[in-house]
Chain A
Amino acid sequence: AQKVTQAQTEISVVEKEDVTLDCVYETRDTTYYLFWYKQPPSGELVFLIRRNSFDEQNEISGRYSWNFQKSTSSFNFTITASQVVDSAVYFCALGADFASGSRLTFGEGTQLTVNP
């Protein structure tokens, strides 16, 4: 069975602070995929990043960075110099290929509030 845990239900920071969102996953598959999505109040899930299990290289995209560590089954997301527009719910998701499909398992989400 696959499982994603986002232990932080809510995080509140002041603008320009750095913030890290934690994600821990469980899977028995040797090949799997990890994702981060952002869900603003409008409701649409916005794709942020996809990482394959065989690629542990960390990635930086502007103010966003991701730290993938297979040894601890974690895929953490850091926002540097946070902005009010970063306020949203962030979901970590785990995907794998099954004979019956390619389902994504989502965590419960972390509500990030960036205050001015």
Chain B
Amino acid sequence: EAEVAQSPRYKITEKSQAVAFWCDPISGHATLYWYRQILGQGPELLVQFQDESVVDDSQLPKDRFSAERLKGVDSTLKIQPAELGDSAMYLCASSLYPSGGLGTQYFGPGTRLLVL
């Protein structure tokens, strides 16, 4: 069964350092999402891609966060510099349908980030 892949699974870093997370969506899925989940809360959308284009990044803290999906397949989310409040689970999801029609979002295992 096709799955969304993410790496690393765990990351510990010191504040002010740069971190990067990688996501490979289910093959053929045009839409890719990055969510942040703070402990004890539900996930919140950071950015949505349709192929290689950003569709929604209104919740992305652009002063320190960046995301790219250069070839419209895998994606990288970067934080520079990391802050203590960035400690969270970062989840990647993909869906078959483009933004014009909602499809079911399938999630990867996530990356647990701890900023010291």
Distance in Å: Cβ of A95 to nearest Cβ of chain B: 5
A44 → B minimal CB distance (Å): 5
Beta-carbon contact of B42 and A97 below 8 Å: no
Top 10 nearest A-B pairs (CB, nearest first) are A106-B42, A101-B56, A45-B107, A101-B55, A44-B109, A43-B110, A102-B102, A101-B48, A103-B45, A102-B99
B91 partner residues in chain A, CB cutoff 8 A: 45
Q: List 30 A-B contacts (CB under 8 A).
A: A4-B42, A35-B104, A42-B109, A43-B89, A43-B109, A43-B110, A43-B112, A45-B91, A46-B107, A47-B104, A47-B105, A47-B106, A50-B104, A91-B43, A93-B42, A96-B102, A97-B102, A101-B55, A101-B56, A102-B48, A102-B99, A102-B101, A102-B103, A103-B56, A104-B43, A104-B45, A106-B42, A106-B44, A108-B40, A108-B41
Q: What chain A residues lie within 8 Å of B45 (beta carbons)?
A: 103-104
Interface residues of A (CB under 8 A from B): 4, 33, 35, 37, 42-47, 50, 91, 93, 95-98, 100-104, 106-109
B98 nearest in chain A by CB position: A102
Is B85 an interface position by the 8 A CB rule? Answer: no
Query: In angstroms, how far is the closest chain B Cβ from the Cβ of A54?
Result: 13
Docked-complex contact A44 and B104, CB < 8 angstroms: no
- What chain A residues lie within 8 Å of B108 (beta carbons)? 44
Interface pair B99/A101, CB less than 8 Å apart: yes
In the complex formed, the residue of B with least CB distance to A106 is: B42
CA–CA, A95 and B100, complex, Å: 12
CA gap between A104 and B102 in the complex, in Å: 10
